[in-house]
Amino acid sequence: MTLHTSQTIMRKSLHHELVDRLQPLIINSELKPGTKIPEKQLCERFGVSRTPLREALKVLASDGLVRLEPNRGAWVTQVTQEEVDEVFPVLGALEALSGELACKHITDAEIEEVRALHAQMIRSYENRDLDAYFSVNQKIHRAILLAARNATLTTSCQALSLRMQRARYLANMSEGRWYDAVQEHEKILQCLVARDGPNLAATLLHHMDAKRASVVKWLQSQETTDAI
């Protein structure tokens, strides 16, 4: 019955693979917030049975991307203002810590890497290429995270970051906010180069709060229009 076409998954554990495949679908809103997760369709699409798919959904639920309603199936969670106001402060505290630790452990080579990413981000900003900007932006935050040399911190940060990502992605920044964000990143780079942990921590904290405010603003503007 099950065909092993190129589309079909067959490496490592199926449920783990499915988690990795479902996450992007939720992040880029192919599976829309507030909608029901079409179990049957997804099984066909990935060429798997319900068992591993449901296992994956349980994991995604514990990460907050999916909500399980007993006897009613799985639903893509909404990004609400309440959630944004909750998650960003936590993310801020974690990123601040990552900055602190990164300054202690980062190598010169890694700093050069961040510098290169930063330059690339500036170019994306100048070209008003939001997709590229977001992509590089994330790489920078990730590079700092990795420099912190703390796998637990990385995991925690990324889990929360993921939850905010689709909102952040959807939320078109205002011209003014975008400018400010770039300025903040300028300072982030400077702190990192100077290996000034406390300063970097404070900057990242502020950066996160500004992001929060920006996302909230966008959410509120959407309230009248449509739920994300």
Partner DNA sequence: TGACTTAATTATGAATTCAAAATTACGCTG
Partner DNA sequence: CAGCGTAATTTTGAATTCATAATTAAGTCA
Q: Which residues bind a second copy (CB under 8 A)?
A: 12-13, 15-16, 51, 54-55, 58-59, 62-64, 68, 70, 83, 86-87, 89-90, 93-94, 96-97, 101, 150-153, 156, 160
Instruction: Indicate which single residue of 45, 50, 104, 123 sits in contact with DNA (rule: CB under 7 A).
Output: 50
Quick one: CA dihedral 108, 112, 114, 118, positive or negative?
positive
Our measurement of the distance from residue 68's CA atom to the centroid of its chain's CA atoms, rounded to an integer in Å, reads: 21
Cα 15 to Cα 123: distance, rounded to the nearest angstrom: 39
The verdict on 36 binding DNA (CB under 7 A) reads yes
Return contacts of 56-65, CB within 8 angstroms, 24+ apart: 56/15, 56/16, 56/18, 56/19, 56/22, 57/22, 59/15, 59/19, 60/19, 60/22, 60/23, 60/26, 63/159, 63/162, 63/163, 64/159, 64/163, 65/23, 65/26, 65/162, 65/163
Half-sphere exposure of 144 (CA within 13 A, CB side): 31
Taking the complex as a whole, the smallest distance from the CB of residue 44 to DNA amounts, in Å, to 11
Taking the complex as a whole, the smallest distance from the CB of residue 156 to a second copy amounts, in Å, to 6
Nearer to a second copy, 124 or 150 (CB): 150
Could you say which DSSP state residue 5 is in? -
The verdict on 3 binding DNA (CB under 7 A) reads no
The verdict on 6 binding DNA (CB under 7 A) reads no
Nearer to a second copy, 102 or 173 (CB): 102
Instruction: Give the SS3 label for residue 74.
Output: strand
Site size toward DNA (CB under 7 A) is: 22
- Say which entry of a second copy, DNA, none residue 72 contacts (CB below 5 to 8 A, set by partner kind): DNA
Give the phi and the psi of residue 53 in degrees, each rounded to 5: -65, -40
Q: Which stretch binds DNA (CB under 7 A): 65-73, 82-90, 145-153, 154-162?
A: 65-73
Whether the Cβ atoms of residue 121 and residue 137 lie closer than 8 Å to each other: yes
- Say which entry of DNA, a second copy, none residue 162 contacts (CB below 5 to 8 A, set by partner kind): none
Nearer to DNA, 46 or 88 (CB): 46
Nearer to DNA, 45 or 105 (CB): 45
Instruction: Indicate which single residue of 31, 48, 144, 145 sits in contact with DNA (rule: CB under 7 A).
Output: 48
Instruction: Give the SS3 label for residue 166.
Output: helix
Nearer to DNA, 1 or 109 (CB): 1
Interface residues with DNA (CB under 7 A) are 1-2, 13-15, 36, 39-40, 47-52, 54, 68-74
